[in-house]
Structure 1
Amino acid sequence: MTAMSTRAKLGVLTASAVLLGAVAAGYAATAAQPARTPPPPAGSDQPVTLTPGARLLAITDRHVSSVATADPTGPRTVSGLECLRVYAASGTGVCLKPETPWSYQVVVLDAALHQTRAVSVPGLPNRARVSASGRMVSWTTFVGGDSYVTSGFSTRTGILDTVSGATVTSLEDFAITRDGRSYRNADVNFWGVTFTADDNRFYATMSTAGKRYLVRGDVRARTVETMKENVECPSLSPDGTRIAFKQAIDADPTKGWRLSVLDLATMGVTATGETTSVDDQAAWLDNGTLAYTLRQSDGNPDVWTVPADGSGASRLLLPGAESPSPLT
């Protein structure tokens, strides 16, 4: 597959998100960002591994890469593995990988980036996560053809248990409780799974009837229940107490999103110091720091970071990279 074909597909991914009403404001805001430093040269003395350590995983020029946490702007190691999204934990990785020019796979990786499982998925890859133990893998894609979607696109979110092999092809099959009552609607969509420490429960976004909810799910029971409106792309903190998410301004995604943090004990929300619209599922570098992707005016990505408690300002972390994941 040529690099040009991959760029074309990434362009379609962006177009799909725009049709969903999900990124227009974000790109308008990031277009105003000043030009940024290009990525440092790649190092080649060591292979990329997913072994836990003081390194940050990311995608550089469409390939899986890693860099020392202590020197994120230094030389990074770039592998030959092409992915549109990547994430890893406890030596297990997930790569949303091109299979043919217009089909994709969810590929589960071992610590040496060897494929251990692969699942063909419909649509254009958008989100990916691995549970802290490395057992559970999740993904979200944009798909077309659902009759209820006027834009022509919706989402599919799946979960794979890497130990048992059990696969949930779509969270839309789960029983839904909305505001305390059983709920079913053809327009339900899910995206952005984040797992709890027990490898069974998870949080995600559910959209229906023009609203977006944070939901709490149970894989074994095949259930989800709504918790709070206007919470998208949740990311659970390492200590399990908070959720980073993108909050639509005035509950309207066309106005962009504010990267925010939800305290699960109080359900209070704190806006971070990042004021640019963030259309990403942020990653926790530790219990106090978030990392996320912003795009330059030419569409090229950079990874930025900001404190999770609302203090301080955002700063550039990895120029010319996206899909950050700490190698914990």
Structure 2
Amino acid sequence: MTRTARLLTLLLAVVLLGGVATGAVLHAAERSGKKDQEQAGGPPVHPGAVDLAPGHGQLVFRNLAWGPHRDEITTVPADRPDAPRTASGLTCLRFHAAAGTGICLQAEHGALEDTYRAVVVDDHLRERHAFPAAGIPTRARVSPSGHLAAWTVFVSGDSYAGTDFSTRTAIVDTRDWHLEDNLETFAVVKDGHPYRASDINVWGVTFADDNRFYATVATGGQTHLVRGDLAARTLTTLHQNVECPSLSPDGTRIAYKKRIAGASPDAPWRLYVLDLATMTETATAEQRNIDDQALWADGATLVYSLPGEYGSDLWTVPADGTGAPATLTVSAVAPAYLR
């Protein structure tokens, strides 16, 4: 055998051994991921078709169960939240959906830094339109009609707990793709008077219809519930000490997180409900710190996330202050009910 032939033979052997080794590593990683998920006692997760069309009685959320489908949008029957999960293949940091429209906030990992984008998807989770996002995703909502989508990102800082942060909130109309990319440009009416300040932050949109919405405005060291008018481009203050509002299905109440005097600066919030007609506040039975935009499962029950073993678990509590918190499902975040 010539020297050249020997070198070619050696090279072929190295390539073949490398392929075998790579295959073995990938197979082991796949088995390890499945084994880790089983050992964690998490719910089973399987790939499949996910449909956002209303009327299916589904609960969708970002799956945090350890394994190959972690961070994918998954679905379960709403009345069986611990049933096996169907994984869509779509990965999102934040997600919400209504009326066949979804908003998925994604990270794109670059060589030097991550970038982010907001992706509007259809009822089969196919991308319709994408927009660059200015920072780390934190909140997302779709209007009841599916015509509007909103998202909030941190453009500096990464927590609402302190004061050293800045947000950017956008709303897009999915019918013509008109984008309001910064709600801080809207006119603020505070206590009945026009208000201007350089420190205004807006976050946590929740929609009433295709024009009216609610959100949080922070300025002067205080937070306010505001009613937004998309056509008029105004934000009108209604109530103090309201963050991350969530409108009830009947439009009469706001669930929100409220800063409690004397609480730890790292865990300052409790979950409350505000009656919009009377501005009466009701504390829920959840006494732990809530750093989430709660979701109404129906007219009587709130869903929210709390830290869990694999990132976050979903919990429920009655909205009227009675009862007690209960686990809805583990290893999950960013839920939406497809009513």
Pairwise CA RMSD of aligned residues?
1.7
Q: Does 1:321 align with 2:332?
A: yes
1:96·1:125 contact (CA, 8 Å) conserved in 2? yes
Which residue of the partner structure matches residue 25 of structure 2? none
The answer to which structure, 1 or 2, has the higher relative contact order (CA under 8 A, 6+ apart) is 1
Which residue of the partner structure matches residue 258 of structure 1? 270
CA distance in 1, matches of 2:264, 2:192: 26
**Shift in Å, 1:100:** 3.4
Report 1:51-200 matches (<5 A): 51-52=53-54, 53-60=56-63, 61-101=70-110, 102-144=114-156, 153-197=165-209, 199-200=210-211
Structure 2 unpaired stretches of 5+:
1-39, 64-69
Q: One-letter code of the match for 1:40?
A: P
Pick from 241, 249, 253: which aligns with 2:252?
Answer: 241
Q: One-letter code of the match for 1:195?
A: F
Q: One-letter code of the match for 1:189?
A: N
Aligned residue-pair number: 285
Q: Does 1:49 align with 2:51?
A: yes
Q: 1:182 to 1:252 in 2, by over 3 A?
A: farther
Q: 1:317 to 1:291 in 2, by over 3 A?
A: same
Pick from 308, 319, 323: which aligns with 2:319?
Answer: 308
CA distance in 2, matches of 1:141, 1:115: 20
Rg larger for: 2
**Shift in Å, 1:130:** 0.1
Residue aligned with 1:172, SS: helix
Q: 1:242 to 1:152 in 2, by over 3 A?
A: closer
CA distance in 1, matches of 2:253, 2:276: 5
Q: Does 1:231 align with 2:234?
A: no
Residue aligned with 2:261, SS: helix
Which residue of the partner structure matches residue 271 of structure 1? 283
Q: One-letter code of the match for 1:39?
A: G
Q: Does 1:214 align with 2:225?
A: yes
**Shift in Å, 1:38:** 4.3
CA distance in 1, matches of 2:279, 2:163: 33
**Shift in Å, 1:256:** 1.6
Residue aligned with 1:163, SS: coil
1:39·1:321 contact (CA, 8 Å) conserved in 2? no
CA distance in 1, matches of 2:192, 2:106: 38
2:310·2:331 contact (CA, 8 Å) conserved in 1? no
Q: One-letter code of the match for 2:190?
A: R
Which residue of the partner structure matches residue 32 of structure 2? none
CA distance in 1, matches of 2:325, 2:263: 23
Structure 1 unpaired stretches of 5+:
1-36
**Shift in Å, 1:144:** 2.6
**Could you list the per-position Cα deviations for residues 68-94 of structure 1 after superposition, in whole angstroms to 9, with x for gaps in the alignment?**
112111101112111000100011000
Q: Could you state the TM-score of these two structures normalised by the residue count of structure 1?
A: 0.83
Larger deviation, residues 309-318 vs 99-108: 99-108
CA distance in 1, matches of 2:264, 2:221: 11
Q: 1:212 to 1:161 in 2, by over 3 A?
A: same
CA distance in 2, matches of 1:212, 1:92: 30
CA distance in 1, matches of 2:201, 2:295: 22
Percent of aligned positions that are identical: 49
**Could you list the per-position Cα deviations for residues 233-266 of structure 1 after superposition, in whole angstroms to 9, with x for gaps in the alignment?**
0000111111110011128782521111111111
CA distance in 1, matches of 2:336, 2:306: 15
Residue aligned with 1:250, SS: coil
CA distance in 1, matches of 2:264, 2:149: 27
1:230·1:251 contact (CA, 8 Å) conserved in 2? no
Residue aligned with 1:221, SS: coil
Which residue of the partner structure matches residue 28 of structure 2? none
